[in-house]
Structure 1
Amino acid sequence: MNIDIQAIQKEVMQLSSDWQLHLNIKDYAGSWSALSLRSPGGKANNIIPQLLSDTQVFEDTPLMTQCPAIQKVIAGLECPVCSVRLLNLTSGSVIKPHKDADLAFEKGEARLHIPIFTNEKVLFYSEDELVPMREGECWYLNANLIHSVENNSNSDRIHLVIDCMVNDWLKDIFDNAEKSEKEDVENIEETLLVIDELKRSNTPATLAWAASLESRLKQNVLN
């Protein structure tokens, strides 16, 4: 993916629209706000990233026309793109530990983060793991896992956040990307149930399969 971070930073700095406070006020302290570049109905004041009716579709908002460098990034995604937002966590603000239900690659939807403005004092945690995101990188994080952010710096942290649908192209990108994997709680519980049933069957084949699943589960949880 070709990301001209300097051009994108310039575009974001020139946007004059008012940032709107994130709607999930229980999930943060301080100021966490958004600008919509693509939204249901193409409305700039709609920062909700989900369709609320069968008649809605995702469309670019007028703000997208002011961001040609961001448009190039979106054009390079060979998968259906849903919402595109700029999310601003101001200096001293925190996003509390939370999870976005069903928002995960395995469930058919991926949320991509491209840090536009950030620094080493911005701490992004997925579960208990610190994710060292740097400006101009593209990251996928399983939002179905508990995650949180602390902006301990003296400047705003702004991410370009893209929600897209998983297709064969995106699967291929993920297969060849660097990964840091951790099982989410629901998957762990499901795997434990499968292991228990395999052990109940008590045949050489099922016991071998159960041992293999246990080994994989331990490895992913410890990593």
Structure 2
Amino acid sequence: MIRFARLPLTANIREIQKEVNLLLNNQWLPHYNRHDYEGSWDVLVLRGLNGNSQQAFADQVQHGDFANTEILAQCPEIERFLNSLACEKRSVRLLNLKSGAVIKEHRDLELAFENGEARLHIPVFTNPKVAFYLDNHLLKMQEGECWYINANLPHRLSNKGQTDRIHLVIDCEVNDWLRSVFQHSESAANMVSEKELWDREKELKRQTIQNLRLQNTEATLTLAATLEQEFREKELAFSDPLA
């Protein structure tokens, strides 16, 4: 399983920076995972569920189809870059980690290349005092680069600089084109085995299933049953036949 990779994709960062500067006075939303951070971590939705710029969720638990928001129409260079990605785009957001803010270690369950979804990060504005750790690896992402991170792994970050850190974050569906891009990236050295990952995530899976059941709605109970079946299949696959 790939931990992270710098991809051979280049954005016209100076033009994107100009567009983002013009958006700074827009109504940015506080990130919805408020227990995961301290300080200010804000979101501007460029592509979201049902094209709603006021809906900051990046997954389909809330139900709906992903569509461009009216804000993306103000960003022709960002839209050009998105169109250059020959794969289906789901959520597209600008994430602003303000100066002095800290994001606590957390995981985005199942969000990984091997599970069919790849989260790409393009730093728009950053500074040398931003520290992004993925699975305890310090990633030094520079403005205009394109990075994949396996968000299913533990990650944390802080911005101890004097300026805000803004990333363009794109969730893509994996297809043959994206697989080809990954084959030309420096990702081979950043692997973790499926068994190692499963040993790390079992308890989180159990907690997720329990929390879904406590919500006790038709949708959450159905999802809990699906996750429990997947859990049992994984346990069986990785169990020691001699144990």
TM-score relative to the length of structure 1: 0.83
Q: CA deviation at 1:2?
A: 3.9
% identity of equivalent residues: 46
After superposition, the Cα gap between the structure-2 partners of 1:129 and 1:53, relative to the gap in structure 1 and judged at 3 Å, is closer
Q: Superposition pairs for residues 59-138 of structure 1, below 5 Å?
A: 59-138=67-146
Alignment check: 8 A CA contact 2:117 2:171 kept:
yes
Give the C-alpha shift of residue 53 in structure 1.
5.5
Superimposed CA distance per residue, residues 3-39 of structure 1 (whole angstroms, 9 cap, x where no aligned partner): 1100000000001311110010110000001000000
Deviation per CA, 1:120-146, whole angstroms, max 9, x where unpaired?
110000011100100000000000000
Structure with bigger gyration radius? 1
**2:34 counterpart of 1:25:** yes
- SS of match in other structure, 2:60: coil
Please tell me whether residue 186 in structure 1 is matched to residue 197 in structure 2: yes
Alpha-carbon offset, residue 196 of structure 1: 4.3
Are 1:48 and 2:48 matched, yes or no? no
SS state at 1:62 partner: coil
Instruction: List runs of 5+ in structure 2 lacking aligned partners.
Output: 1-8, 201-233
TM-score relative to the length of structure 2: 0.76
Residues 93, 104 of structure 1: alpha-carbon distance in 2 compared, 3 angstrom cutoff: same
Which structure 1 residue ranges, 5 or more long, are not aligned?
201-223
The one-letter code of the counterpart of 1:18 is Q
CA distance in 1, matches of 2:61, 2:240: 40
The match for 1:157 is 165
Which gives a bigger RCO, structure 1 or 2 (Cα 8 Å, sep 6+)? 2
* SS of structure 1 residue aligned to 2:52: coil
Task: Give the alignment partner of residue 12 of structure 1, picking from 10, 13, 20.
Answer: 20
Cα distance in 2 for partners of 1:188, 1:172 equals 29
State whether residues 30 and 41 of structure 2, in contact with CA within 8 Å, keep that contact through their aligned partners in structure 1.
yes
